[in-house]
Chain A
Amino acid sequence: MTTTVERPSAAGQSGERSARSLVDAVFRAREITIAGALLLLVLGTWAANPRFLSDQGVKDLLLNASILVLLAVGQSAVVITRNIDLSVGSVTGLSAFACGQFAADSGHGPGVVLLLGLGIGFVCGLVSGALVSFGRVPALVVTLGMLYVIQGVGYWWAQGEQISASEVPDGVLRLGSGSLLGVPYLPLLAFAVLAATGWFLRNYRTGRELYAIGSGPEAARLAGVPVRRRVLGAYLFSGTVAGFAGALWLARFGTVVADNAHGWELTVVSAVVVGGVAITGGTGTVWGAALGALLLTTIGSALAVLKIDAFWQGAITGALLLAAISADRIVNLRVTRALRKRSSRHGHGA
């Protein structure tokens, strides 16, 4: 696998550095490709209809992408460790409803509501993470189970009720509609989480260990990485981010029911994979995942503006996914070959 984790290696300093920068370059290329596709899409749509990039249009694009970007960042941390979190849609939905009911009953402002969202997400992530890491149950099964369990809790809690915008305190709704220096709060928050996570995964040892686990869990364990704790950590993060996203969902949409983000887990996974985070773990960045999320939501908005029927959105998303996975496979093979060549040239004093 194409891990970028530093290993104790007999290879020369320069050899290692150039191998790493090669890998970096390849994956940066992936992000550049997505960014290019996004740019083409935006410019193309803008050419067809200039209002697409009006003040309101840009604001809409950013707002539409915010929640998906957040969820994609959380999901990336899990996928990088060669796991998956299918419960994020349910967690977001439960958090949105719980925050809505809490805000409606108590009249609290956005700060407390966001904390509640974070807390609910944390608890959900703790259960999923503990089952996957310490229970050693496959992530797919655990989080699929959690998807239904959390949804069930939501249904039980909501009892068919819904929270309407008129019940939600204005302060909370302003979080969804207000802006700072012309940039709405939601994209700002999403960007902050994205940047912090991206920095952490790249520069902190714990972050690098997540990649190592995804590249080869057994090898990581032998190298002394506390695999279970790190995987649990990834789930805690994903869950907490999903809970946060739920609180923002309430702020943005105003009306919440028990199963708001129903089906979003698959969109999130699509965004992550399209964004270059390999579903087999070990590679990709949250920046790529965020670009993937932005690309998917922008496609939806562009199709609507171009008066193209929305059902094409599904087909296009599917095609992008297949393209991304094929690209991953090809790049993997090439990089592996290139690295092998290099290490035979530099390495092990052979």
Chain B
Amino acid sequence: MLHRRLPAVTAAVCALAVTLAGCSGTTKDSAGQDAAAGASGATADPDAPLKKGLKLAFLPKQINNPYEKLIDEAGIEAAKEYGGTGKEVGPSDASASSQVSYINTLIQQRQDAILIAANDPNAVCGPLKQAMKKGIKVVAYDSDTAKDCRQLFINQASSEEIGRSLVRNLAEQVGHRGKIAILSATQNATNQNTWIRYMKDELKKPEYREMKLVKTVYGDDADQKSFQQTQGLLQAYPDLKGIIAPTTVGIAAAARYLSDSSYRGKVVLNGLGTPNQMRKYVKDGTVEQFSLWDPEQLGYLSSYAAAALASGRITGAEGETFEAGKLGEYEIGRNGEVILGPPTVFDRKNIDDFDF
């Protein structure tokens, strides 16, 4: 009777595992704590436009959201420019109510402003109203709360402009003709659906009459599903000319699939992605261009907007203007909304200027 075990092999693997884990472990740094200590003793300077020593707290949807981390870090950096301090706190999951206890803590800590990317527009409302009652300014960024629960919403780009510009850019690439498809995230993602609505509206214009949107598929922001949906599109519509993927996970997955499939070069992929994700595919020619707003600018603008609020320079009413450092002057639009600007287009020429 055969009776074997694998002690030698397992021991070897184990030993190797320990060494390797050790090696890669040393590459880690324990960043993220430095901004934790808030400054105290704000000294108001009546002559300066912005108060010194303002305390800002960034509350992202979840603490490990790579995109919002970039926003928050840029916002904290910007606070240094006007003599304030910032920190980032947040829950580890993006569920509707997970931010509530963080808001309560921030109120107790008497922050000057809370900047929040809301997981749920209504779940955070109660505590945010409490905060405003206590004189804490509330600025939403990336993902808005209900209108009356914050003073300002800093929008990365208008939804309309995102939707329309993606269609415009793709149309240029495919010569305004042929079948196109959309690879979206989940079927009920509000931002995705709003963009898609504007894409469809843009496609009604006469210059796109020879273009046809044949299908919208949903990759659920999961790699495997995005792969499969892309494959399905290419097999179901062999004469497909272009795909718009307005989601960073979706576009990266679709690009990875295209880059080593036989469809490479036969179909144009455009959409919203980050330069780091897409760098390889832009350089190897799989993707010509894609768009995104600059999250660092979004953080910078949010930070300055919060400071302007906390210094009493603005109240959040429509038509007020404020200075946002190197970005220049911004005007508050309807419903307390401030728009960062049109999306940035990244291509082979400028992609190396960005690192996010």
Contact = CB atoms under 8 A, between A and B. Distances in A.
Interface of A: 49, 51-52, 54-57, 60, 64, 67, 98, 101-102, 105-106, 112, 115-116, 118-120, 122-123, 152, 155, 157-162, 164-167, 177, 203-206, 236, 240, 249, 252-255, 257-258, 260, 262-263, 297, 300-301, 303-307, 310-311
Interface stretch (B194-202, B220-228, B316-324, B337-345): B220-228
Interface string B11-40: 001101110110110011001100000000
A159 B27 CA distance: 13
Contacts of B14: 119, 122-123
Residue from A57, A157, A165 whose CB has the most chain B CB atoms within 10 Å: A165
A70 B236 CA distance: 29
B270 interface: no
Nearest to A54: B235
B326 interface: no
Contacts of B108: none
Contacts of B24: 98, 101-102, 105-106, 116
A204 B2 contact: yes
Interface in B196-253: 215, 217-218, 220, 222-225, 227-229, 231-233, 235-236, 238, 249, 252-253
B102 interface: no
A97 to B, nearest CB: 10
A118 B17 contact: yes
B223 to A, nearest CB: 4
A300 B232 CA distance: 9
Nearest to A263: B222
A105 B235 contact: no
Contacts of B256: 165, 252-255
Closest 8 CB pairs of A and B: A119-B17, A304-B232, A177-B260, A166-B280, A160-B69, A166-B279, A160-B64, A102-B24
Contacts of A51: 235, 238
Given A164-B276, A258-B64, A122 B10 contact: yes
Q: Which of B20, B66, B187 has the most CB of A within 10 A?
A: B20
A31 B268 CA distance: 42
Interface residues on B, range: 35 or more
A54 B262 CA distance: 11
B315 interface: no
B235 A102 contact: no
Contacts of B283: 166
Contact of A64 (B228, B259, B261, B277): B228
B48 interface: no
A101 B21 CA distance: 11
B228 A165 contact: no
Contacts of B66: 160-162, 257
A204 B13 contact: no
A297 B224 CA distance: 9
B23 A122 contact: no
26 contacts: A49-B235, A64-B228, A67-B224, A101-B24, A105-B27, A106-B24, A116-B21, A119-B20, A122-B13, A152-B92, A159-B64, A160-B69, A164-B274, A164-B277, A165-B256, A204-B3, A206-B4, A252-B256, A255-B249, A257-B66, A301-B228, A301-B231, A303-B232, A304-B229, A305-B232, A310-B217
Given A115-B20, A155-B92, A303-B232, 12 more contacts: A60-B261, A120-B21, A122-B13, A155-B63, A160-B68, A165-B277, A166-B280, A236-B10, A304-B236, A306-B236, A310-B217, A310-B225
B3 A206 contact: yes
Nearest to A174: B260
B262 A101 contact: no
A107 to B, nearest CB: 12
Contact of A55 (B231, B262, B280): B262
A64 B227 contact: yes
A321 B265 CA distance: 40
A297 B229 CA distance: 12
Nearest to B227: A64
Given A56-B262, A57-B235, A164 B16 contact: no
B31 A164 contact: no
A236 B4 CA distance: 16
Contact of A254 (B20, B232, B233, B252): B252
A120 B280 CA distance: 27
Contacts of B263: 56
A165 B2 contact: no
A186 B4 CA distance: 28
B95 interface: no
B8 interface: no
A271 B325 CA distance: 56
Nearest to B282: A166
B281 interface: yes
Contacts of B227: 60, 64, 253
B32 A159 contact: yes
Contacts of A118: 13, 17
Contacts of B101: none
A229 to B, nearest CB: 9
B281 A122 contact: no
Contact of B224 (A54, A57, A64, A160): A64
Nearest to B27: A105
B332 to A, nearest CB: 30
B235 A120 contact: no
Nearest to A264: B224
